[in-house]
């Protein structure tokens, strides 16, 4: 059989005819020698423009107050929290891929973990903005940290928002460490290959004197294993805590025990969708089809399918419990989602997150790059809608009908949302321009030469 | 391949890793220190007043009772800054033509108030009531210090919330008999703690650390 | 405590303000203490009002906000103490204790009739008006418009100078001009001199006017009030041949029939009626029964046991039918509209018969004279005279048919017979009937003088505009509904040197005299009878009532020929009903932010009036809420947005007066539409043959209640008297309250005080007096229409209104919802910075300066009673508005959550006073602002730990229930389920 006709699942994780040298050249070249493709410049221009929009929106926000957004009483949380949860969710895939798949010895992760981790960092960065910006008095955000102050006060440790502060900051820290440690060997490679003196100096400092000695490698392995061990529980904990922001409350539609697993699954779902969204154009633009192969895409498709089903289960249970609880408030919340003023959004959420992804059952879909891209996009949208439904519809018609109201986003809500997308794009493009987007040395280990022959040992 | 960095950079990099930790710690400590410094609290900083009124002279050397000027301190929320009238009670005769007192006489003549610099300033969202504190046996000196030794009045305490709470949490450490409230020189004979506990019972003092005690 | 006031001069005022040592009132006192003149400061600072806080930011506002932001930074933990000044008195007044408010008794007249108030004064600044318990028209309660006159005092847009032809002029200049004109009049006995006032009950003013007329025998005095009481006066004339005043003792009435009478919102005895009716609404043997027949649902109809929606024009027919049923000889009832309700009428009549001498038929102020006459006849036939219906001589100083009086004036003006016109108060150019063309006629007058609070439509067309002194700035006197006189004393020297009508009149004909002397000398004259005048004067000022000035009841006899049916108008088309706005009245309060933003009782609309009509009518005309229609009647037309009101009479359109002002302040102008444009002298309250034509345009309303039904949730619980007798604990049917220990947190034992509140839904009439009292007491900001529309309103206490049952004849239920002060408060758990938590007495306290604004507490509040400062709503720049604030309550900044805290400032004051005196706070000694204002005593607050306290006893009542109790929030505020007393004979109509 010729390679072409083999099912992606059996295809090798790296294109044929590669040697240690070619791998290194191809990946390093993107950063060091090859000319920056026009697509990069276009993307960067758009991203940076949106970033400026963000600055504008934030400046006006600080000047006037959160009243410029659509939030009100009863809907006290709007786009800010929706986007926060959305970004945090996206930030999940990276650590999952790097940490959990590393522990599970999933070799295929090695060609995608680098930029997946980068994606995580930048997504968390975007997410981190919102909880601060959505405060009525952002300049006092530091009051959420327990520090010895002249007021003799501590924060309220019963509040899930405090747990959030710890969960998210820990997650961010560990992700940065993990990502950086993983980078060190490649930074050394770049240091050694960089044509310019500055390049050598900068990469040199970052490489922290890596010489690739056996001792270095031995320590490196231990470190990354330890960090993986540290990061694994965080993957679960972060979104669990985020889900508690809602589950701890008494609001119908928030107050439910299924939220933690449901949120984590949703996060992985959304995260992998975003990895696909990024991987597909990248491999195309930089001609990395040999490294991010159809088999990778196929695997990610399967992950999407699996997590998608968990999420779908979550939706079902929400509806079931609303009926089973016998609580009129829960029941009304659900009926409102089905037929209320926000119903169209709810049904499009189901379409994007549940119906469309079912196409992934078919081998042919998973083998078609455009199809995968389309599905990934639909999931990105779907996950955002999910958070909108959770945040807004639960609040806008709760206990006292006299207090019911509607939430309409303002232009500033949108500006802030697209602004953070701009921030993300900008950071990500800078990353692929200046750092190897695929782990060079880990790719090397995938090569036939790298296989250790037992009998020699 | 040529070395980019000198050997010494190894040591530097190691140092920088640990140094960062200490730098951060130092910064945080610094902020905490500055927040409690006189610069921030105005503690011990005398203000220049339109009239060089000396509490040391009036309260200390002449031994005028606090309440001669701060008439309402026992019943009102505000101790009350004496009206010009009060100054003139004496200074219509004594030092009647002293240059020092020119602004006072001017105020009395023109019926325009003297404008003093506030020394003990609380934020607008803090509601303090002198009357009840006096009733519960909190001495003037406890918050205002030895005013009878100040030429120009300055803030004796930081007036920060933690300072208020110190007493609101453990009042027995600071209380004194009601009749000694205005006696700036008074010191507890024997054990303050025991006396304090007795007074807490006697005056029905409750440790009010509810936010609503001071903030509305 | 109340005591006689001394007028306060501004320099002293400045000093007193300073005594506060800041508080939220003055960011820093420098600008005030050093400013050369306070007045200039006021001039130069243009009115900056929250309402003007539009979306766009201009440069000024940018700077303002930056300044404010710096102010906010001051709230942060690490900030240097603010620089501040102390400005003590030069000579401190005797009675003043710094930080302790003083209360002065005075009164606020509305349409001439006084409501007695106690004005709270902080270091010389009146900050709040409260009811005067000793005043017969107040009984300690107060209604929204009366309370809001306080804000009127500080309105930055009040007229601040005398102007002539738009130029600032001097008082002496004015005197010279007018005295000259008057001298020219003298030889002709003042034939060309006309004076136009509003309704006058003030004995002093009346004496002055008489003196003027004595000096100018040919001069004419006209009285006119846009929302006057001509119909009642005319009705009395028809029935008794004299303009007697009729008032009702509803406390003694077992059956009350309101004929399109808005008992609790209009009329001189509105507060008294509310108290009397509510007194008979407590379930039990003494419970009275209230029937209401009305076109537009009012608070009266909402509490009525039986409400019949009837076009205003059909009420006369209805009344005739009732009269006929009672066997009176009256003209036949033409209205077929009554026929379908025959069972209703029969039952009503039987009920009335069964309670001869103990029932009352109350005609609406806006019903035609015939209805008033009929009501008099019916009451007479039922022998209610002297029992539940009390007649006295007219309270007005000079009862006149005001419509005729105004007509005469306009005629004279048009004939050129008016050479000097003094308009003392009022705004006829805006409010006069459209067909008279007052403005046009006014142009023919040689010298036109207008005394008013604002530069309004009338001032614009007058040669001289005099800035009037506010009622809280001037000496005067006024009578209550029963004739009782109150001496009005000023709380503060005129902020802008305004003058009262007394001072103006005095100065025109004689030497200038301060209002104090004018009033005092008048009373010296009256009092000359005997006894020590000084004592009498002091006592009158102190009590707020002049003893034995109430008019004695008199007996009256129906005179023959009293029954003159109102000529039948063309019945074709719709009927158009003009009503004074519940809060803006005739438009005099249009520039008052508090009143503009207070949700209207039934519609819950703010900052707007509308063409109010029934659902069925709207359906027939194919219009919906917000559709702008052209209302055409008698060849006149106006554009008005439609608002559909369940329970409104069919084929009837109600419009409220007082909106669509063209001049008189930024808040007043351009808000709503001017219904006066449709109002003619012949049809002042009911116009027939109106037509509505959709224009296709839409109007955005700012309504504070998005959803009108209870969705089958047991929020407002009510039962009939019979049901209550059968199961006194009906309120707890199917209710499951979780056990107290169902919480993760350790139970908290409340020793000492445990504050709680009970709200009697049977007594609540939904008048919003509580909401406004709360706003005044707690410095709640006004946010403006756009913000209300976006769900950003700030009222701490809202009165929910639900419709239940039939859309055309719904039950209307009211429920005041303040913070419930939950013992297991959902908001407290989720606040990350402990800005809201529990205190030892069970209060759910809110620490504004600690709040960072996550809004999680509000999300988690099942009652949605928390309010958030989405923008910088509190006005930190306008000096006069700062003066209106309560210094004991923090003025909130931007980005901070706020809410009801049971008036914790009052609790603290009471506790401190009690502890200084070494006693406990007595029950009733401590009242919340809402409780204090409530006309029906529906709100009771106190210590639930004290079993003898009123609140504890009410909470023991089986009617007592917790709102959303099933959530285990353990609210300290609970409700007493309403009990109605429907007529068993009308079982079908029973509600709930």
CB contact under 8 Å between C834 and A156, yes or no, is: yes
Whether residues A151 and B10 touch (CB distance < 8 A) is answered with: no
Across the strands, what pairs with C940?
A: C758
CA distance B12 to chain A (A): 11
A305: left (phi over 0), alpha (psi -120 to 50) or beta: alpha
Interchain CB contact of C849 with B (< 8 Å): yes
- pLDDT, position C81: 62
Q: Are C871 and A64 within 8 A, CB to CB?
A: yes
> Touching check for A147 and chain B: CB below 8 Å?
yes
Which pLDDT score, from 0 to 100, does residue C136 have?
95
DSSP state of C712: T
Confidence of residue C34 (pLDDT cuts 50, 70, 90): very low
Answer yes or no: is pLDDT of C649 > 50.
Answer: yes
In this model, does residue C596 exceed pLDDT 80?
yes
Q: Is C744 on the interface with B (CB under 8 A)?
A: no
Give the position of tokens 């009132």. C25
Whether the pLDDT of residue C9 is over 70: the answer is no
- Judged by a CB distance cut-off of 8 A, whether residue A184 touches chain B is no
Q: Please answer yes or no on whether B212 and C839 come within 8 Å at the CB atom.
A: yes
Residue A248 with chain C: CB contacts under 8 Å: 829-830
What pLDDT is attached to residue B2? 61
Query: For the residues B132-139, what does the mean pLDDT come to?
Result: 93
pLDDT of residue C63: 47
Asked if A366 reaches chain C (Cβ–Cβ under 8 Å), the answer is no
Please write the tens of the pLDDT for every residue from C237-270.
999 999 999 999 999 999 999 999 999 998 999 9
Probe site for chain B from C16, C84, C90, C901 (most B CB atoms < 10 A): C90
Dump pLDDT digits (tens) for C267-309: 999 999 999 999 999 998 889 999 999 999 999 999 999 999 9
pLDDT digit string (tens) for C780-818?
A: 999 999 999 999 999 999 999 999 988 888 999 999 999
Report the side by side order of strands in the sheet with C420-424: C167-169, C162-164, C464-467, C447-452, C420-424, C193-197, C220-223
Alpha helices in B112-184 (DSSP H): 130-135, 140-144, 161-169
pLDDT for A83 beyond 80:
yes
Q: What are phi and psi of C476, to 5 degrees?
A: -170, -170
What pLDDT does residue A95 have?
A: 82
Residue B208 has pLDDT above 80, yes or no: yes
Q: Chain A within 8 Å of C967 (Cβ-Cβ)?
A: yes
Token output for C198: 């509003």
**Residue burial C530-562, b: 16+ Cβ < 10 Å; e: rest:** eeeeeebbeebbbbbbbeebbbeeeebebeeeb
pLDDT digits (tens, 9 = 90+) for C921-937: 999 999 999 999 999 99
More confident residue, C95 or C682: C682
| Per-residue pLDDT tens over the stretch A279-312 | 999 888 888 888 888 888 898 899 999 999 999 9
Q: Which residue has the higher pLDDT, C487 or C563?
A: C487
Interface touch B162/A152, C-beta < 8 Å: yes
d(CA C854, CA B10): 47
Residue A452's pLDDT is what? 56
Hey, are the CB atoms on A249 and C863 less than 8 Å from each other?
no
Position C82 scores a pLDDT of 65
pLDDT value for C527: 82
The share of chain B scoring above pLDDT 90, in percent, equals 48
As to burial, measured by CB atoms within 10 angstroms (0-12 exposed, 13-18 middle, 19+ buried), residue A33 is: exposed
Nearest to C263 by CA among C34, C645, C582: C582
Q: CA torsion, points C664, C665, C671, C672, in degrees to nearest 10?
A: -20
Give C198: exposed, middle or buried? Use CB within 10 Å, 0-12, 13-18, 19+.
buried
pLDDT of amino acid C571: 66
Q: How many CB atoms lie within 10 A of CB C951?
A: 26
Query: What is the per-residue pLDDT for A2?
Result: 39
CB C32 within 8 A of CB C26: yes
Q: Which of B140, B151, B143, B136 is nearest to B196 (CA)?
A: B136
Cβ atoms of A263 and A390 closer than 8 Å: no
pLDDT of residue C636 exceeding 90, the answer is: yes
Pick the more confident residue, A36 or C45: A36
**Are the CB atoms for C308 and C986 separated by under 8 Å?**
no
Res C604: pLDDT: 94
Over the stretch A234-253, which tens digit does the pLDDT of each residue have?
888 888 999 999 999 999 99
Closest-CA distance, C32 to chain A, in angstroms, reads: 27
Cβ neighbours of C972 in B, within 8 Å: none
Instruction: Work out the minimum CA distance from C24 to partner chain B, whole angstroms.
Output: 5
Least confident span in A110-119, C45-54, C939-948:
C45-54
Compare CB distances from C88 to B34, B75, B114 and report the shortest one's residue: B114
Residue in A closest to C870 by C-alpha: A67
Residue C677: pLDDT above 90? Answer: yes
C-alpha to C-alpha distance for A46 and A425, rounded to whole angstroms:
8
Answer yes or no: is pLDDT of C32 > 70.
no
Count of pairs with CB atoms under 8 A, one residue in A, one in B? 29
Q: Which chains touch A (3 or more CB pairs under 8 A)?
A: B, C
Report the range of poorest mean pLDDT among A31-35, C161-165, C367-371, C698-702.
A31-35
Q: Which residues of A touch C872 (CB under 8 A)?
A: 65
What CA–CA distance (Å, rounded) separates B199 from C142?
A: 45
Tell me which of A413 and C95 has the higher pLDDT: A413
Closest chain B residue by Cα to residue A153: B162
Best residue of A146, A150, A154, A211 to probe chain B, by most B CBs closer than 10 Å: A150
pLDDT digits (tens, 9 = 90+) for A94-122: 888 878 777 777 777 777 888 888 999 99
Q: For residue A404, what is the nearest residue in chain C, using CA coordinates? A: C706
Tell me whether residues C854 and A135 touch, CB distance under 8 A.
yes
Predicted confidence at residue C342, as pLDDT, reads 86
Structure tokens at C86: 């102390």
The pLDDT value recorded for residue C2 is 39
Instruction: State chain B's mean pLDDT as an integer.
Output: 89
Mean pLDDT for chain A overall: 88
Q: How confident is the model at residue C13 (pLDDT cuts 50, 70, 90)?
A: very low
- % residues pLDDT > 70 (chain A): 95
Distances (CA, A) of C82 to A335, B126, C17, C757: 54, 13, 17, 38
Cα torsion for A325, A328, A334, A336, to the nearest 10°?
180
Q: Establish if C60 touches chain A: CB-CB under 8 angstroms.
A: no
Q: Which residue from C77, C817, C859 is facing A77, i.e. has the nearest CB?
A: C859
For residue C689, pLDDT over 70 is answered with yes
The predicted-structure confidence for A420-440, as pLDDT tens digits, reads as follows: 999 999 999 999 889 988 888
**Mean pLDDT, rounded, for C842-860:** 95
A11 pLDDT tier (thresholds 50, 70, 90): low
The H or E element that residue C309 is part of is: strand C306-309
Which of A13-17, C595-599, C743-747 shows the lowest mean pLDDT across its residues? A13-17
Average pLDDT, chain C: 88
Q: How far is CA C337 from CA C308, C313, C316, in A?
A: 12, 10, 11
Beta strands, E only, chain B = 116-117
Tens of pLDDT, residue by residue over C389-423, are 999 999 999 999 999 999 999 999 999 999 999 99
Measure CB to CB from residue A160 to each of C73, C830, C894 and give the nearest one.
C830
State yes or no: pLDDT of C69 exceeds 50.
Answer: no
C706 neighbourhood in chain A, CB within 8 Å = 404-406
pLDDT at C581 exceeding the cut of 60: yes
Task: Say what the pLDDT of residue A9 is.
Answer: 52
Encode pLDDT of B62-75 as tens digits: 999 999 999 989 98
User: Which three-class secondary structure state does DSSP give residue A306?
Assistant: helix
What is the DSSP track for C542-590?
A: HHSSBTT-SPPP----PPTT---PPPPP--SSEEEEEEEBTTTBTTTTT
Residue A8 has pLDDT above 90, yes or no: no
State the pLDDT confidence band at A36, using cuts at 50, 70 and 90: confident
> Any idea which of B183-197, C152-166, C333-347, C910-924 has the lowest mean pLDDT?
C333-347
In terms of DSSP bridges, do strands C978-980 and C718-720 run parallel, antiparallel, or are they unpaired?
Answer: parallel
| Pairwise CA distance, residues A371 & A364, whole Å | 9
What are the residues whose beta carbons fall under 8 Å from the beta carbon of C105, sequence distance 6 or more? C2, C116, C117, C118, C119, C132, C134, C135, C486, C489, C541, C542, C543, C544
Contacts of C899 (CB under 8 A, 6+ apart): C796, C819, C836, C846, C865, C866, C867
- Best to test chain B binding among C34, C74, C81 (most B CBs inside 10 Å): C81
Closest Cβ–Cβ partner in A150, A191, A192 for B161: A150
pLDDT reading at A453 higher than 70: no
* Residue C41: pLDDT over 80: no
Neighbours of C416 (CB within 10 A): 12
């Amino acid at each position: 059989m010729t390679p072409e006709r083999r099912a992606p699942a059996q295809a090798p994780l790296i294109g044929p005819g590669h040697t240690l040298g070619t791998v290194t050249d191809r990946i390093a070249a993107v950063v060091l020698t090859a000319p920056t493709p026009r697509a990069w410049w276009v993307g960067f221009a758009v991203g940076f423009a949106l970033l400026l929009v963000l600055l504008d929106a934030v400046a006006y926000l600080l000047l006037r107050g959160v009243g410029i957004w659509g939030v009100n009483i009863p809907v006290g949380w709007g786009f800010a929290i929706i986007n926060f949860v959305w970004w945090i969710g996206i930030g999940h895939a990276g650590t999952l891929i790097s940490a959990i798949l590393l522990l599970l010895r999933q070799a295929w992760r090695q060609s995608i973990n680098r930029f997946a981790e980068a994606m995580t960092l930048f997504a968390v960065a975007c997410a981190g903005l919102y909880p601060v910006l959505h405060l009525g008095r952002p300049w006092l955000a530091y009051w959420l940290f327990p520090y010895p102050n002249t007021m003799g006060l501590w924060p309220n440790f019963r509040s899930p928002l405090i747990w959030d502060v710890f969960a998210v900051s820990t997650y961010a820290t560990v992700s940065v460490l993990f990502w950086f440690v993983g980078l060190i060997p490649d930074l050394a490679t770049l240091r050694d290959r960089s044509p310019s003196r500055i390049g050598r100096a900068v990469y040199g400092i970052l490489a922290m004197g890596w010489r690739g000695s056996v001792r270095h490698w031995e320590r490196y392995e231990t470190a990354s294993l330890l960090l993986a061990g540290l990061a694994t529980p965080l993957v679960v904990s972060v979104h669990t805590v985020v889900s508690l922001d809602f589950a701890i409350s008494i609001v119908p539609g928030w107050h439910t025990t299924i939220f933690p697993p449901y949120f984590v699954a949703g996060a992985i779902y959304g995260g992998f969708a975003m990895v696909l969204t990024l991987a597909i154009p990248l491999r195309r633009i930089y001609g990395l089809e040999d490294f991010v192969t159809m088999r990778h895409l196929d695997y990610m498709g399967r992950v999407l399918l699996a997590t998608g089903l968990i999420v779908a289960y979550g939706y079902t249970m929400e509806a079931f419990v609303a009926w089973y609880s016998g609580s009129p408030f829960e029941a009304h919340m659900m009926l409102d989602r089905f037929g209320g003023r926000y119903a169209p959004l709810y049904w499009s959420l189901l379409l994007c997150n549940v119906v469309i992804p079912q196409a992934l059952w078919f081998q042919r879909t998973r083998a078609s790059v455009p199809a995968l891209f389309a599905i990934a996009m639909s999931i990105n949208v779907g996950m955002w809608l999910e958070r909108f439904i959770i945040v807004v519809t639960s609040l806008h018609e709760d206990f006292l009908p006299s207090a019911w109201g509607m939430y309409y986003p303002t232009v500033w809500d949108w500006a802030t949302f697209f602004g953070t997308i701009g921030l993300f794009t900008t950071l990500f493009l800078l990353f692929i321009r200046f750092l190897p987007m695929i782990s060079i040395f880990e790719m090397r280990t995938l090569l036939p030469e790298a296989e250790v022959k037992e009998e020699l040992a | 391949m040529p070395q980019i960095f000198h050997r010494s950079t190894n040591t530097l990099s190691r140092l920088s890793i640990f140094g960062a930790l200490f730098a951060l710690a130092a910064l945080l400590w610094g902020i905490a220190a500055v927040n409690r410094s006189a610069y921030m609290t105005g503690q011990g900083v005398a203000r220049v007043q339109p009239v060089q009124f000396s509490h040391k002279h009036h309260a200390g050397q002449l031994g005028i009772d606090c309440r001669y000027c701060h008439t309402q301190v026992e019943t009102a929320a505000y101790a009350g800054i004496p009206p010009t009238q009060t100054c003139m009670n004496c200074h219509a005769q004594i030092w009647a033509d002293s240059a020092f007192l020119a602004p006072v006489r001017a105020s009395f003549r023109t019926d325009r108030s003297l404008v003093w610099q506030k020394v003990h300033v609380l934020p607008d969202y803090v509601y303090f009531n002198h009357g009840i504190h006096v009733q519960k046996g909190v001495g003037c000196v406890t918050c205002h210090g030895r005013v009878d030794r100040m030429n120009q009045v300055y803030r004796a305490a930081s007036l920060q919330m933690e300072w208020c709470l110190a007493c609101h949490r453990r009042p027995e450490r600071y209380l004194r008999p009601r009749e000694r409230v205005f006696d700036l020189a008074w010191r507890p004979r024997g054990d303050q703690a025991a006396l304090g506990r007795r007074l807490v019972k006697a005056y029905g003092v409750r440790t009010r650390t509810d936010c609503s005690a001071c903030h509305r | 405590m109340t005591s006689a006031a001394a007028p306060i001069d501004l320099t002293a005022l400045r000093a007193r303000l300073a005594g506060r040592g800041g508080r939220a009132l003055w960011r820093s006192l420098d600008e005030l203490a050093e400013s050369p003149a306070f007045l200039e400061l006021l001039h130069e600072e243009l009115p900056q009002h929250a309402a003007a806080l539009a979306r766009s930011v201009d440069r000024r506002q940018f700077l303002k906000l930056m300044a404010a932001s710096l102010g906010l930074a001051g709230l942060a933990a690490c900030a240097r103490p603010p620089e501040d000044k102390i400005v003590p008195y030069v000579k401190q007044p005797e009675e003043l204790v710094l930080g302790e408010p003083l209360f002065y008794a005075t009164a606020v007249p509305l349409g001439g009739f006084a409501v007695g108030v106690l004005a709270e004064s902080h270091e010389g600044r009146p900050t709040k008006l409260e009811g005067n318990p000793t005043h017969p028209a107040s009984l300690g309660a107060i209604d929204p418009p009366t309370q809001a006159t306080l804000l009127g005092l500080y309105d930055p847009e009040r007229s601040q100078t005398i102007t002539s032809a738009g130029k600032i002029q001097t008082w002496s200049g004015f005197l010279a001009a007018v005295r000259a004109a008057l001298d020219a009049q003298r030889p002709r006995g003042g034939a060309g001199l006309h004076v136009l006032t509003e309704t006058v009950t003030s004995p002093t003013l009346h004496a002055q006017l008489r003196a003027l007329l004595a000096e100018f025998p040919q001069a004419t005095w006209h009285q006119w009030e846009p929302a006057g009481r001509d119909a009642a006066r005319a009705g009395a004339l028809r029935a008794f041949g004299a303009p007697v005043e009729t008032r009702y003792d509803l406390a003694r009435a077992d059956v009350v029939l309101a004929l399109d009478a808005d008992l609790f919102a209009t009329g001189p005895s509105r507060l008294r009626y509310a108290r009397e009716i509510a007194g008979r609404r407590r379930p039990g043997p003494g419970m009275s029964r209230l029937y209401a027949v009305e076109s537009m649902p009012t608070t009266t109809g909402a509490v009525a046991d039986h409400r019949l929606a009837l076009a205003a024009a059909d009420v006369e027919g209805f009344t005739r039918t009732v009269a006929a049923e009672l066997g009176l000889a009256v003209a036949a009832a033409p209205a077929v509209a009554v026929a379908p309700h025959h069972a209703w009428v029969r039952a009503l009549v039987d009920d009335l018969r069964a309670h001869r001498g103990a029932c009352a038929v109350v005609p609406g102020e806006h019903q035609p004279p015939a209805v008033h006459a009929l009501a008099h006849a019916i009451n007479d036939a039922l022998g209610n005279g002297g029992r539940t219906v009390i007649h006295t001589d007219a309270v007005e100083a000079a009862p006149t048919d005001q419509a005729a009086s105004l007509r005469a004036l306009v005629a004279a003006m048009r004939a050129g017979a008016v050479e000097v016109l003094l308009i003392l108060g009022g705004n006829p150019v805006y409010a006069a009937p459209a067909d008279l063309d007052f403005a046009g006629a006014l142009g023919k007058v040689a010298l036109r003088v207008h005394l008013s609070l604002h530069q309004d439509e009338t001032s614009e067309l007058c040669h001289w505009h005099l800035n009037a002194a506010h009622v809280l700035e001037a000496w005067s006197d006024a009578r209550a509904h029963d004739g009782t006189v109150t001496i009005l004393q000023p709380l503060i020297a005129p902020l802008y040197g305004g003058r009262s009508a007394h001072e103006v009149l005095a100065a025109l004909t004689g030497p200038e005299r301060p209002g104090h002397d004018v009033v005092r000398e008048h009373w010296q004259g009256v009092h000359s009878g005997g006894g020590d005048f000084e004592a009498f004067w002091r006592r009158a000022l102190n009590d707020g009532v002049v003893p034995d000035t109430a008019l004695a009841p008199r007996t009256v006899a129906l005179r023959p020929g009293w029954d003159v049916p109102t000529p039948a108008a063309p019945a074709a088309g719709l009927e158009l009903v003009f009503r004074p706005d519940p809060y803006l009245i005739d438009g005099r309060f249009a520039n008052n932010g508090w009143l503009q933003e207070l949700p209207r009782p039934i519609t819950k609309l703010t900052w707007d009036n509308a063409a109010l009509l029934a659902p069925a009518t709207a359906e027939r005309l194919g219009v919906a809420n917000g559709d702008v229609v052209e209302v055409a009647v008698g060849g006149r037309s106006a554009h008005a947005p439609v608002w559909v009101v369940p329970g409104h009479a069919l084929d009837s359109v109600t419009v409220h007066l007082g909106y669509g002002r063209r001049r008189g302040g930024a808040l007043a102008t351009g808000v709503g539409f001017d219904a006066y444009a449709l109002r003619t002298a012949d049809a002042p309250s009911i116009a027939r043959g109106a037509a509505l034509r959709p224009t296709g345009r839409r109007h955005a309303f700012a309504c504070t209640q998005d959803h009108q039904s209870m969705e089958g949730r047991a929020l407002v619980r009510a039962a009939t008297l019979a049901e209550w007798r059968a199961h006194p604990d009906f309120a707890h049917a199917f209710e499951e309250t979780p056990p107290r220990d169902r919480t993760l947190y350790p139970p908290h034992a409340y020793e000492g005080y445990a504050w709680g509140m009970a709200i009697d839904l049977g007594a609540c009439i939904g008048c919003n007096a509580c909401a406004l009292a709360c706003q005044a007491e707690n410095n709640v900001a006004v946010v403006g229409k756009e913000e209300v529309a976006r769900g950003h309103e700030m009222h701490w206490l809202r009165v929910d209104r639900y419709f239940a049952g039939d859309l055309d004849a719904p039950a209307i239920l009211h429920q005041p919802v303040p913070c419930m002060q939950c013992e297991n408060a959902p908001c407290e758990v989720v606040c990350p910075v402990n800005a809201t938590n529990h205190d030892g007495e069970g209060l759910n306290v809110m620490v504004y300066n600690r709040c960072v604004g996550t809004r999680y507490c509000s999300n988690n509040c099942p009652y949605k009673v928390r309010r958030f400062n989405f923008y910088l709503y509190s006005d930190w720049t306008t000096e006069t508005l700062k003066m209106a604030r309560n210094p004991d309550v923090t003025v909130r900044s931007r980005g901070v959550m706020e809410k009801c805290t049971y008036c914790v400032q009052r609790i603290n004051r009471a506790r401190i006073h009690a502890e200084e005196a070494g006693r406990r706070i007595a029950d009733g000694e401590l009242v919340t602002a809402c409780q204090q204002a409530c006309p029906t005593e529906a709100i009771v607050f106190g210590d639930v730990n004290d079993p003898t306290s009123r609140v504890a006893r009410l909470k023991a009542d089986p009617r007592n229930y917790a709102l959303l109790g099933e959530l285990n929030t353990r609210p300290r505020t609970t409700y007493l389920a309403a009990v109605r007393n429907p007529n068993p004979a009308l079982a079908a109509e029973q509600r709930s």
